[in-house]
Amino acid sequence: MRKVGFLFLLGIVSAILAFPVGAMTVDEALKLWAEGDFIQITYDAAGQAKLEEAMAAFKTALGVPADLDETNEEAVGAFVVDPAKKTLVNKLSQAYYTLTNNFLDRTESNEVRRASYLKGRNWGFKSLRMNPGFVALEKEKDFVAAAQAETDTQALYWSASNWLRYAQFNKIEAVFAGVPPKAQAMSFRTLELDQAYMVFGPFRSLGAYYAGLPPLMGQDLPQALFYFCKLVSEPTYCAECTACPIDPSVSQYFENRTFFAEFYLMEKKLWADAARILQSVLDEPIGTKYALYNAMSQENARKLLEKVNAELKK
What would the DSSP string read from start to end of 230-258? TTS--TTT-TT-TT-SS-GGGGGSTHHHH
Q: Are residues 44 and 189 in the same domain?
A: yes
Q: Are residues 114 and 153 in the same domain?
A: yes
pLDDT confidence of 2, banded at 50, 70, 90? very low
pLDDT confidence of 278, banded at 50, 70, 90? very high
- Other Cβ atoms less than 10 A from the Cβ of 176: the count is 10
- Of residues 14 and 160, which shows the higher confidence score? 160
CA dist., res. 83 & res. 86, Å (int): 5
The pLDDT tens digits of the residues spanning 59-80 come to 999 999 999 999 999 999 999 9
pTM for this entry: 0.91
Domain range for 300 is: 225-314
CA dist., res. 205 & res. 164, Å (int): 9
Answer with the one of 194, 217, 246 that is the final residue of a domain. 194
Q: Are residues 153 and 35 in the same domain?
A: yes
Amino acid found at 242: T
> What are the C-alpha distances in Å from 158 to residues 12, 17, 154, 282?
38, 32, 6, 27
Q: Is residue 55 part of a domain?
A: yes
Q: Are residues 129 and 179 in the same domain?
A: yes
**What's the number of domains the chain is made of?**
2
The pLDDT tens digits of the residues spanning 241-255 come to 989 999 999 999 999
Q: Is residue 13 part of a domain?
A: no
